[in-house]
A and B are shown apart, each in its own frame.
Chain A
Amino acid sequence: MFNRKKIQRPEGPLTEQALRQWLVDYLVVHVEIPREDIDTAKTFEAYGLDSRVAVQVSGALEKVIERRLSPGLLYEYQSIDALTGYLAAELKL
């Protein structure tokens, strides 16, 4: 319940690749998906992410990019690739 394992914020300037890596690390540590099973094109739903985890992911992501994110983001951009692509475009990375 009190999962305090922390994924470090990417060092240096934020890039699309760094965000993608951060999301992969987050899923490995917090959702306990084996790293070799992660496919960045696969939907979050396919990993069994429920709405509570989706809120946690987006809350943690907000701290990485230091901006607020739409609560609907993970429903609209349903894979790591789609999400990082969207964020990179929005944040002009």
Chain B
Amino acid sequence: MGAFDFPSAPEESFRAFLRQAEQLEGERLAGAIPKEYFEPRVGRGLAGFAVSWLLYAGAIVGVAYAPSRLLWIPLWIVAGLGGWGLHCIAHDCGHGSFSRSRRFNYAIGHVSLLPLIYPFHAWRHVHNMHHSSTNHLEFDTDWRPVPAGMFERMSLWDKTVYVSTRTWAFWGGTINYWAESALRPGFFPKASQRREVRRSMLFVAAVTVPYAAVLVYFTGFTGLLVYFVAPWLATHAWFSATTLMHHSASDIPYLTAEYWTRNASRLLVTTDYVYPRWLLFLTHNISIHTAHHVAPVVPYYNLPKAQETLKARYPGMVRERRFSFGQMWEIIRHLHFYDTESGFYADLARNKVEPKVAVSRAAEGAQ
């Protein structure tokens, strides 16, 4: 159900994307992944949960005992990695792949999102919206670029937030989404969703308010900033950087209702950044993301195998790239608006950004 009628002047790169999308029509993508990969192993999930809590708490204890304040920043980044890992555990819980028990998944999910002060059901419903509309120009909830013409009609505050979070303050992008939907049941169209969100908010308040009070009592407001707010910001920085890079690239379009298809949204609009093994372990394979979009119920520890089967079944369609800060810089430097002519991106000066096909990891290896 869309209102936009773009792109107005599509070029070859847009048509090439549509041709690829057409090839996937009628395919049951998840069928490429063997059934046994869908089976959760609760012990493995709990191990990930424990590792991330230890990392988060350990880094905060490290801040308390650090011999020099210079160590605080790296320790906050580590705490953020712990908090981000916990988000990735909650992510499995939200998709029902942590265990077969919905109640247990919800319990672990609620506890895992505490460092982010994110009510689990609010996060779950927003995340489901992202999955059901990935790279939909009107309905995606994550990092959706707006046409410059629409930006012009936004309020000054909304414009400031939009431009900042797509440029220098990209690390705060998910804080903006959190502010929009996490503590605001009215964001959700269905009454049943709003009821669940209110319950999750009560849980978050019941834990974080006493925790903050205890922190302030024993360590003062500085303690609250150093032991809670800074790790919270760092967790959001990981959250923002990762999610921004997943679906934003100069050659990956956001699509109007006319061109958006379910299968293309699952297979063709994600870039998987290849992390070193230790980072894959600590982020619970969140960067192996195409297989996740094809079959969200595959538990995180089975994603590498699922991704391999997907690559074999759809050669050349799964986008894997080596992670680089340069890639991230490209995104925040150029990919600012939706270009209504080409269907890809325009920058802040309203200049069209040429879709640049990044070198795939396989091609890099061949060089």
Contacts and interface: CB of A to CB of B under 8 A. Distances in A.
Interface of B, secondary structure class, is: loop
Nearest to B192: A66
Contacts of B4: 70, 72, 76
A62 B191 CA distance: 11
A47 to B, nearest CB: 16
A77 interface: yes
Contact of A70 (B2, B154, B189): B2
Contacts of A51: 153-155
B207 interface: no
B139 interface: yes
A68 B189 contact: yes
Nearest to A87: B1
Contacts of B257: 70
B138 A52 contact: no
A69 interface: yes
B186 A67 contact: no
B318 to A, nearest CB: 29
Contact of B1 (A52, A66, A67): A67
A7 interface: no
A75 B3 contact: yes
B139 A70 contact: yes
Nearest to A60: B186
A70 to B, nearest CB: 4
B362 interface: no
List the 7 shortest-distance A-B pairs measured between CB atoms, nearest first. Answer: A76-B3, A70-B138, A62-B189, A72-B3, A70-B3, A51-B153, A73-B3
Given A66-B191, A72-B150, A76-B5, 13 more contacts: A51-B155, A59-B186, A63-B189, A68-B129, A68-B189, A70-B2, A70-B3, A70-B257, A71-B146, A73-B3, A75-B3, A75-B150, A76-B3
Interface of B: 1-5, 129, 138-139, 146, 150, 153-155, 186-187, 189-191, 257
